[in-house]
Structure 1
Amino acid sequence: MSDDDDRLRRLLGGDETAWLVERVHRRLEQGRPLSGTVTLTQASAAQRRAVELLLGRRAGSGGSVSVSLDDVDRMLRTSGVAPEGLREAVVRLRGPVRDLAVESATRAAAWQRAFAELDALVGRRPELSGWRSWLESTGLVRRLAPAAEDARPLLDRLTAVLDRLPSPGIPIGRLASETCGDAHALDEGRPLATLALSAARALGGRLYANDGGADARRAAWAAVGVHLDDLSSLVLCLGLPGDHHTPMGRVLKAAADAGEPCVLTLRQLRRHESPLTAGLVRVCENPVVVAAAADELGPSCPPLVCTGGRPSTAVWRLLDLLSSGGAAFTYHGDFDWGGVAIASAVYERFGFRPWRFDVSAYEAAPSSAPLTGRPCATPWDPELARAMARRAVRVEEELVIPDLLADLASAM
């Protein structure tokens, strides 16, 4: 150790001046200038004597002691103990100084790169923008993958999954295998599954955070066309004609003859390979319509299928079987932006005639409930979207059930 190092340690390297060195070190890390005064409240007698030795003068009286950083810097330079001043002295005592601003900028850039693919997708999918803000505000990604280098592959896989949603119908294991190269990547409890499920909830109009157990998880995935198994994806129908020679046909026939609603599983629908012949099929959004039709019309109810909100894989499969059998569709749903989005998905895939689901029906329906959400197009009646944006009220399907039942009765 040189004489200058020994002198420096005697002046600033002891326990009594450690507080001063720490304050200067913190300023250096933060990129702040080494000027002005620092104060130690409730200074001990030993700390006061150390400051007096450092500055070569009395440090005043009272419970606190103040030190001019400019004076210390000048003394270190002129004495030759640290020719480059206070910064040099602290580096010699404590080692290299971190640049926190640079480190912060580097971390921010790394996280920006980690989110780049996902943010590009969200830019193309504005319906995910609220969910993306929720991710940022909750810090969920950083809790699941604290380092940006770990988060980037996770978020890239998440982007690949979301790029396939909503799906017309796919098992979750196959979705995981095709997007991530790992059939178990979306298994419950995995970080990717946690993020993907929150996004599925966003796409399905649900709360982003986990809001229930296994049933809620199945419903959230089903709303975007992903099924966890062949028994959890369901569709509700009434009055669909069956047959005597297939298992599902016999189920449908028994339900239709009894005038009772029928719940079909995806397993049943996948095992039924022949088209279903039903003529004109009415499609509604809410199960309460099916229940009312069964109560009012019973076995006389014409074919009616319920999407139950956003169509599940089972709903799509049933509509596919009906379409391949030559069925035509007429559709009714909630007059809100969520209902319009569901109708648009059905219209894009099969087409339909509106069933009291056009601008005249909307304007005639009484309602004062505020319309919220993101507007979307109504390609079966472009004027409907403009009327909804202008009137800004929602009309739930339950409010017009008497009219829907009258239509079903007149078709008997």
Structure 2
Amino acid sequence: MTEPDVERLRRQLGGADTERLVQRLRQRMARGQPLTGTLSLSQPTPAERLAVQRLLGRRPGRGTSVTISLDDLDQVVRRSGMHPDGLAAAVERLTGPVPVSAEIRAAEAAAWRTAAAPLERLGRYRTELADWCADRGTGTLLRRLSGTPAVAGRLAEDLVEVLASLPADGVPLARLAVRATGDAHALDSDRPLATLVLSAVRAVWWPGDDEPTSPAERRRALWDSAGVLVDELSSTVLVLNVTAIPGSRLHAFTAPAAMTGEPLVLTLRQLGRERPSFPAGDVHVCENPTVLAAAADRLGPACPPLVCVNGQPSTAALRLLAALAAGGAQLSYHGDFDWGGLRIANLLRSRVPWQPWRYDAAAYRVAVADATPGTLTGQPVEAGWDADLTRLMRGHGARVEEELVLDALLADLAGSR
């Protein structure tokens, strides 16, 4: 029988840079779990990254955690001669026998249940979060990011404090972090708490299937969908001929653009410097910038007030629409006839009142007959304002984007001035 190379084993796996890895392996063995699959180390130090690279012969990546294939590591231990009996035997040779008992397993399971208890309580009184709180993947993510029940318990408490404040109404990210945890950086992009919160946001408040491809833009969009500001200038809304009442700060921005019929981008900073006020009247709302651009080209100053949510509604868009509705405006909304469009419309309907603008079952029938629709894909969504619309869309299996009915929308705008 081949003897283990103890000196090499201690050099490769017995140092301070692999101590946390070895302890995590012992924890698995103590729970009676095989050393297979993957293991992740959160917030690895440069020395730990280098140790993983040295063991596996490849760079471990630059994310907030390092994922290690235990099957590959086992093969490295065997082939290198560190221990012919594999990874588990190597761990015991370094650290001593690993006791595994039913009591230990039961205590470990009880500790993890206690750590996750705040999520269970949150799911009971916040029903929209119940499915996410109870999802097995949420528990797995909590374990992976925390490592131990003690850390998981503290992380879960902070997580509940943050989620209890969502959706927010334009609160800055750092301020939310301070209120919930006392740490202004607790929700920074590289912190475990931010990963968990954004997992919930994606499941509960993100209405669309598509997300921006850039990680930074994706995080900003997810926070925005929950009413949290990464900064005041990144949240914007596109408008045409929307004019604030005279005497307000916004009037100085909106009036000149409306006089020339030019589109205007308003930031959340501009909308938040004072309580925005707008006159009563009809305001049309569309999903895609193409509609607003075409209206500016064809109608210019003669176009009635038009707001574009540009897909996923930003905090700026929601704040503007709420201010318009508070001033007595009658909002009429049109979006894409696809499942993502219905999700966006349902979200808007939960925040502000609106009437469909060629956006119901009757309009869908006409659009499918007159346009050349695409194929409808994705998970069906119930249209909260028209139950027949979802049924018809299922039956036809066709998606109709706003651009395909642009002439009809522009005719409505021309006739409603």
TM-score by length of 2: 0.66
The answer to whether the Cα contact below 8 Å between 1:243 and 1:250 also exists between their aligned partners in 2 is no
The equivalent position to 1:326 in structure 2, one of 328, 347, 372, is 328
Secondary structure of the residue that 1:289 maps to in structure 2?
A: helix
Secondary structure of the residue that 1:282 maps to in structure 2?
A: strand
Aligned residue number for residue 125 of structure 1: 128
Instruction: Specify the code of the residue in structure 2 equivalent to 1:145.
Output: S
Instruction: Specify the code of the residue in structure 1 equivalent to 2:235.
Output: S
Instruction: Give the 3 Å change call, closer, same or farther, for CA 128–160 of structure 1 in structure 2.
Output: farther
2:363 maps to 1:361: yes
Instruction: Specify the code of the residue in structure 1 equivalent to 2:178.
Output: S
Partners of 1:333 and 1:209 lie apart in 2 by 18
Instruction: Give the 3 Å change call, closer, same or farther, for CA 245–95 of structure 1 in structure 2.
Output: closer
Aligned residue number for residue 165 of structure 2: 164
Worse-superposed segment, 225-234 or 170-179: 170-179
Instruction: Give the 3 Å change call, closer, same or farther, for CA 248–111 of structure 1 in structure 2.
Output: same
Larger radius of gyration: 1
Give unmatched runs, 5+ long, in structure 2: 4-28, 34-94
Partners of 2:121 and 2:395 lie apart in 1 by 32
The answer to whether the Cα contact below 8 Å between 1:29 and 1:97 also exists between their aligned partners in 2 is no
Partners of 1:263 and 1:180 lie apart in 2 by 34
The answer to whether the Cα contact below 8 Å between 2:245 and 2:251 also exists between their aligned partners in 1 is yes
The equivalent position to 1:236 in structure 2, one of 223, 235, 238, is 238
Secondary structure of the residue that 1:280 maps to in structure 2?
A: strand
Aligned residue number for residue 373 of structure 1: 379
Instruction: Specify the code of the residue in structure 1 equivalent to 2:320.
Output: L
The answer to whether the Cα contact below 8 Å between 2:318 and 2:351 also exists between their aligned partners in 1 is no
Question: Aligned-pair distance for 1:134?
Answer: 5.1
Aligned residue number for residue 415 of structure 2: 410
Secondary structure of the residue that 2:253 maps to in structure 1?
A: helix
In the TM superposition, what whole-angstrom CA distance separates every residue of 1:317-343 from its partner, at most 9, and x where no partner exists? Answer: 212322232211111112333322322
Partners of 2:395 and 2:264 lie apart in 1 by 39
Instruction: Specify the code of the residue in structure 2 equivalent to 1:265.
Output: T
Aligned residue number for residue 62 of structure 1: none
2:345 maps to 1:339: no
Instruction: Give the 3 Å change call, closer, same or farther, for CA 341–161 of structure 1 in structure 2.
Output: farther
The equivalent position to 2:300 in structure 1, one of 298, 301, 320, is 298
Aligned residue number for residue 198 of structure 2: 197
Instruction: Give the 3 Å change call, closer, same or farther, for CA 261–178 of structure 1 in structure 2.
Output: same
Instruction: Specify the code of the residue in structure 2 equivalent to 1:117.
Output: P
Partners of 1:302 and 1:255 lie apart in 2 by 13
Secondary structure of the residue that 2:238 maps to in structure 1?
A: strand
Instruction: Give the 3 Å change call, closer, same or farther, for CA 181–97 of structure 1 in structure 2.
Output: closer
Matches of residues 211-250 of structure 1 in structure 2 within 5 Å?
A: 211-242=213-244, 245-250=247-252
In the TM superposition, what whole-angstrom CA distance separates every residue of 1:24-61 from its partner, at most 9, and x where no partner exists? Answer: xxx99969xxxxxxxxxxxxxxxxxxxxxxxxxxxxxx
Between Structure 1 and Structure 2, how many residues are aligned? Answer: 322
Instruction: Give the 3 Å change call, closer, same or farther, for CA 106–272 of structure 1 in structure 2.
Output: same
Instruction: Specify the code of the residue in structure 1 equivalent to 2:307.
Output: V
The answer to whether the Cα contact below 8 Å between 1:131 and 1:199 also exists between their aligned partners in 2 is no
The equivalent position to 2:314 in structure 1, one of 296, 300, 312, is 312
Partners of 1:330 and 1:183 lie apart in 2 by 40
Instruction: Specify the code of the residue in structure 1 equivalent to 2:355.
Output: R
Instruction: Specify the code of the residue in structure 1 equivalent to 2:255.
Output: K
Question: Aligned-pair distance for 1:221?
Answer: 1.0
In the TM superposition, what whole-angstrom CA distance separates every residue of 1:233-279 from its partner, at most 9, and x where no partner exists? Answer: 11111111356643321211111122211111111112243521151
Partners of 2:383 and 2:202 lie apart in 1 by 22
Question: Aligned-pair distance for 1:377?
Answer: 4.5
Instruction: Give the 3 Å change call, closer, same or farther, for CA 279–30 of structure 1 in structure 2.
Output: closer
Question: Aligned-pair distance for 1:182?
Answer: 3.7
The answer to whether the Cα contact below 8 Å between 1:238 and 1:261 also exists between their aligned partners in 2 is yes
In the TM superposition, what whole-angstrom CA distance separates every residue of 1:108-140 from its partner, at most 9, and x where no partner exists? Answer: 44334433433565683379649956556xx54
Instruction: Give the 3 Å change call, closer, same or farther, for CA 246–194 of structure 1 in structure 2.
Output: same
The equivalent position to 2:284 in structure 1, one of 282, 298, 317, is 282
Instruction: Specify the code of the residue in structure 1 equivalent to 2:388.
Output: E
Instruction: Give the 3 Å change call, closer, same or farther, for CA 389–149 of structure 1 in structure 2.
Output: farther
Instruction: Give the 3 Å change call, closer, same or farther, for CA 314–135 of structure 1 in structure 2.
Output: same
Partners of 2:160 and 2:213 lie apart in 1 by 23
The answer to whether the Cα contact below 8 Å between 1:240 and 1:278 also exists between their aligned partners in 2 is no
Aligned residue number for residue 400 of structure 2: 395
The answer to whether the Cα contact below 8 Å between 2:211 and 2:218 also exists between their aligned partners in 1 is no
Q: Give the share of equivalent positions with the same residue, in percent.
A: 46
The answer to whether the Cα contact below 8 Å between 1:241 and 1:278 also exists between their aligned partners in 2 is no
The answer to whether the Cα contact below 8 Å between 1:169 and 1:316 also exists between their aligned partners in 2 is no
Secondary structure of the residue that 1:365 maps to in structure 2?
A: helix
Instruction: Specify the code of the residue in structure 2 equivalent to 1:173.
Output: A
Instruction: Give the 3 Å change call, closer, same or farther, for CA 331–28 of structure 1 in structure 2.
Output: closer
